[in-house]
Amino acid sequence: MGSNGYLPLFATRPARGLVLFRSYASSIFIGICFICFYRVSYCPVEGKIERWAWIGMFLAELWFSFYFFITAVVRWNPVYRNTFKDRLSSRYDEEGLPGVDIFVCTADPRIEPPIMVINTVLSVMGYDYPTEKLSVYLSDDGGSDLTFYALLEATRFSLIWLPFCRKLKVDTRSPEVYFSSAVEPADDSVMAEEWLSVKKSYEDLKMRIETITEQGRTPVGISELHEGFRDWDFVSSRHDHQAILQILIDGRDPKAMDVEGKPLPTLVYLAREKRPQHHHNFKAGALNALIRVSSSISNAPFILNVDCDMYSNNSEAIKDALCFFLDEEKGHEIGYVQYPQSFGNLTKNDIYGSSLRVVMEVELAGFDGNGGPCYIGTGCVHRRETLCGMKYSKEFKVEWRAMKNVREIKESASVLEENCKALASCTYEENTQWGKEIGLKYGCPVEDILAGISIQSRGWRSVYFLPERKPFLGVVPTTLLQSLVQHKRWSDGDLQIFLSKHCPFVYGREWMPLMLRLSYCIYLLWAVNCLASLYYVTVPSFCLLKGISLFPKISSSWPLPFLYVITVNCAYGLVEFVWCGGTVRGWLNEQRMWMFRRTTSYLFAFIDNILKLCGVSKTAFVITGKVADDHVYQRYEQEIMEFGTTSPMFTILATLALFNLFSFIGVIKKVALDEVLTKVIDLFGLQILLCFLLVFLNLPIYQGLFFRNDNGKMPPSVTYQSLTFFVLACTIAMY
Ligand SMILES: O=c1ccn([C@@H]2O[C@H](COP(=O)(O)OP(=O)(O)O[C@H]3O[C@H](CO)[C@@H](O)[C@H](O)[C@H]3O)[C@@H](O)[C@H]2O)c(=O)[nH]1
Ligand SMILES: [Mn+2]
C-alpha cells in the first residue's frame, strides 16, 4: 500500500538471486585482474612481432573486460513489474478511460505482405478496451494500392471479427494465427457454425488479397469498389506521390458499428507525400506524420506504436500500460511503457540467434532498474506530449477522470481528410523543429533508441513491462544475410548516437542516472566490438602458424585465471539463456552468431561510421526481409544455415573460417609428428584450444563451402574469393 492508504495500480519487485550474480561478477573481476597482471608482467622483451602481438592481445582483453563491466552494470539491479487491472477498472469506468491511438508502420508490400500487415491491424483493433476510444492508423511508406486494398478488406472483416473475438474471448486477435492453431468449439453447435463461417470469411479474404498481391496491381473492377483508389491515378511511383489519406472507419460516426451494433475503432490509412527531392527520413518521418495527422483526428493522449509484423497477442496490453500511466502517485513521471519484442517464427534452436531472449528477459529489466528501458521501436506506449518533445515537470499531472474526451463532430470526415493531407506533405516540416526538437529526431537508422534517449534526457522515467502472456509477436529474419544486415543497421545507428551530441554521457547528464548512461553502452558500443573480436579470431591463429605463444604455459598456474574467466562466464551465459527459455544448442548458435556479427555486421557498421564522420557515407535504412521463398523457408525450419547469395560479409566469414581451419590442421600435424608433443601442448595449449573453438563454431561455414548441394550453400564465387584471400593470408603468415 502506498502512502496514505492509496492502493497503487502497479508494483515493482527486484529480481531474485542478486547476491549470487554479484558474487559471480566479483569473482570474474578478480580473474580479470590476474589476467591483466599476467599480461603486464610477462610481456615479451625480444622480437618485434611477439611484442606487438602481445600488446594487441592485452588491449583486446581490456576491451572485453570493459564490456564485461558494462554487462554487469546492466544486470546489477533488475526490476520486474506487475499491474492491477482490477483496480484500474474499479477506479475508471469506460467513459473515464483515456483514448489511445495505435500506429502501425509498413514500408513495402513486397517485403511486408499486405496480408501480414492487416493481420496486425486487425489484432490491434481488437484490444480489450472501449472501442470508441481506440483509433488505428496505418502508415504506408510503400504508398501501395495493394496495401490499401487489403486494408479495405480488413475493414469489412472487422465487422464480424471483433464481435467474434469478444464472444469467444479470443486472446490471439490476429485471425491468421488464430485460425491456424485454434479448433472449433465442439460443445456448442450454434457457436461451431459461426466459428466455421468466420473462418471461411477469413480464408476467402486471404485468398483475394494474396491473389491480388501476386498480380501486383488491383484490377479495374475492384478499384471501383472504393473511391479511395482514384488517388492512385496520380501516383507515379512509391517515391513520388501526393499524400493519400482515407478515414476508412470514422469512429465518431454513429453508423460505424459492427454486426452486433457495438461501435468500431477509428481506422485511417495514410501514405504521406513523397517527392524525390525531399528526404523522407524513413520510419521517423512516418511516425512524425502520424503524430500530426492523429492529433487532428483523434488526438488521444497515449500512442501505441507497432511494426507491421508485430501483431498483438495479448488483448489486455493497453490496460496494463495504463495501469502505469494512470497511477496517481508515480504515473505522471512516466514517459513511455515499453513491452518486450517476441517472435512467432522462431525455430527450436534459433539458428540465427534472433530471439533476443536475454535482452528482453534480463537486460531491459536491468535498464528499468537503472532508470528506465530504452525505446525499442515497437510495442511501446508513449504519452503524446513526450513524443512531441515536452520536458518533464513536477507540475505535470493530469486529472484523467475530469477529462471526459467525448469526440465532438466538428467537420465531416472528408473535410478532415483534406485538412490532414497538408500535415502529411513534404514541405510541412520545412523551417520547423520537427525532426529536431519536436517528434522523433531524424538522421539515425535507429530512430527508436535515439527517441528513447531524448525522452529520458528530458526528465521522463520509462517503464519496462514483461507480462506473462507475450504482448506482441513479430517476425525474425530467416536467412543469415538478412540477420547480419539487420544487426549492421542497429549497430551502425547505435554507434552513430554514441559519437553524436546525443551520447547519453553528454546529452543525458542532467536527468539520466550514471548507471543508466553506462547501461546504454552495452548497445551503443556494439560496433566497436569488431576490433577486439577480429584481433582475437585472427592473431592467435596467425601466431600459432608462426610459432609465437600468446598465452601462459600450461605447466604454470597462469592458465587458471584464463580458464576460470572463460568457463565460468560461459556457464553463466548458458544458465541465463536456458533460464530465459532457450535450449543448449540455441545458446551455442547464439555464440556463433555473436562471432559472425562481430566480424561482419559490426565491422561494416564501424567503417560506415568512420566514413560518415568524414562526410562520405549517408544514413540508410534497409528494411528487414519478412518473407522467404518456400525452399529457403524449409531450410530455415530445418535449421540449416542459409548462404545462397554473394555478399562481402560471407567472403569475410569464409576467409576467417578457412584461415582458422588451416592453423588448426597445421598445429595438429605438428603435434602428431613432433616427438616433443608435450612441449608444444605446454607452450600452445590455450592457443590451440581457442583455435579449436573457432573451428567448431565455424562448422556450418565449412559445410556451406564444401559439403552442400542445395541452393542455400555458399555460392562458388564467394568460395573462390575467400580461397584467394585465404591463400594470400597464409603466404603472409608463412613468410
Ligand atoms: O522507410 C521506412 C522504413 C521502415 N519502416 C517501418 O519500420 C518498421 C521496422 O522496420 P524493419 O525493417 O522491420 O526493422 P527491424 O530491424 O525489424 O526493426 C527494429 O529496429 C528499427 C530501428 O532500426 C525500429 O524502427 C523497429 O521498430 C524495430 O523493431 C517496419 O514496420 C517498417 O515498415 C517505415 O515505416 N518506413
Ligand atoms: Mn521488424
Cell numbers at 237, concatenated: 511511383
Checking if the pLDDT of 553 tops 80, the result is yes
What is the H or E stretch that residue 34 is in? helix 18-41
Q: Which residue intervals of 471-511 are DSSP H helices?
A: 480-498, 504-507
Percentage of residues of the chain with pLDDT beyond 90: 84
The structural domains of the chain, with segments of one domain joined by +, span 85-341+376-476, 529-734
Report, as an integer, the average pLDDT of 70-93. 96
For 576-590, the pLDDT digits (tens) are 999 999 999 999 999
Is 682 annotated for ligand binding? no
Residue 453 has a pLDDT of 97
Model confidence at 310, pLDDT cuts 50, 70, 90, reads very high
Instruction: Of 401-410, 435-444, 478-487, give the lowest mean pLDDT range.
Output: 401-410
Among 3-7, 46-50, 56-60, 483-487, where is mean pLDDT lowest?
3-7
pTM for this one?
A: 0.95
**pLDDT at residue 1 is higher than 70:** no
408 is in an annotated binding site: no
Residue 2 in this model has a pLDDT that exceeds 80: no
Say what the pLDDT of residue 409 is: 55
Q: What residues have CB less than 8 Å from 482, skipping those under 6 apart? A: 624, 625
Identify the pLDDT of residue 205. Answer: 97
Band (680; pLDDT cuts 50, 70, 90): confident
User: Which residue's CA is the nearest one to ligand 1's atom 26?
Assistant: 377
- Give the confidence band of 174 by pLDDT, cuts at 50, 70, 90: very high
CA distance 199 to 643: 38
Residue 92, C-alpha cell as written in the block: 475508471
| Reduced 3-state DSSP string for 434-473 | ECCCECCCCCCCCHHHHHHHHHHHCCCEEEECCCCCCCEE
| Residue among 108, 141, 327, 608 flagged as catalytic | 141
- Using CA positions, which residue lies closest to atom 25 of ligand 1? 377
User: How many Å separate Cα 375 from the centre of its chain?
Assistant: 10
Dump pLDDT digits (tens) for 590-600: 999 999 999 99
256-271 tens-digit pLDDT? 999 999 999 999 999 9
Instruction: Give the pLDDT mean for 382-396.
Output: 90
Closest to 74 in 3D by CA, of 336, 446, 497, 365? 365
Top mutation candidate among 307, 336, 343, 380 for ligand 1, by most atoms within 8 Å of CB: 307
pLDDT, average across residues 205-228:
89
| Ligand 1 atom closest to residue 112's alpha carbon, by position in its atom list | 33
Ligand 1 atom 4: residue of nearest CA = 283
ipTM of model: 0.99
Catalytic annotation on 448? yes
Catalytic residue chosen out of the listed positions 448, 492, 494, 608? 448
CB-based pocket (< 6 A), ligand 1: 105-107, 112, 139, 141, 282-283, 286, 307-308, 377-378, 445-448, 486, 489-490, 621, 623-624
Q: What is the CA radius of gyration of the chain?
A: 28
639 known member of a binding site: no
Answer with the residue of higher pLDDT: 187 or 239: 239
β-pair type (302-307, 380-383): antiparallel
Average pLDDT of 669-680? Answer: 76
Architecture of domain 85-341+376-476: Alpha-Beta Complex (3.90)
Q: Is 141 a catalytic residue?
A: yes
pLDDT of 234 higher than 70:
yes
Q: What are the start-end ranges of the E strands in 64-130?
A: 79-83, 100-106
Q: What is the pLDDT of residues 19-58, one digit of tens each?
A: 999 999 999 999 999 999 999 999 998 888 999 999 999 9
Segment of 187-196, 251-260, 373-382 carrying the highest mean pLDDT: 373-382
**Ligand 1 atom 15 nearest Cα:** 624
Q: What is the DSSP string of 505-535?
A: HHHTTTTS-HHHHHHHHHHHTGGGHHHHHHH
Query: Using one digit for the tens of pLDDT, what is the confidence trace for 395-419?
Result: 777 777 666 555 555 788 888 999 9
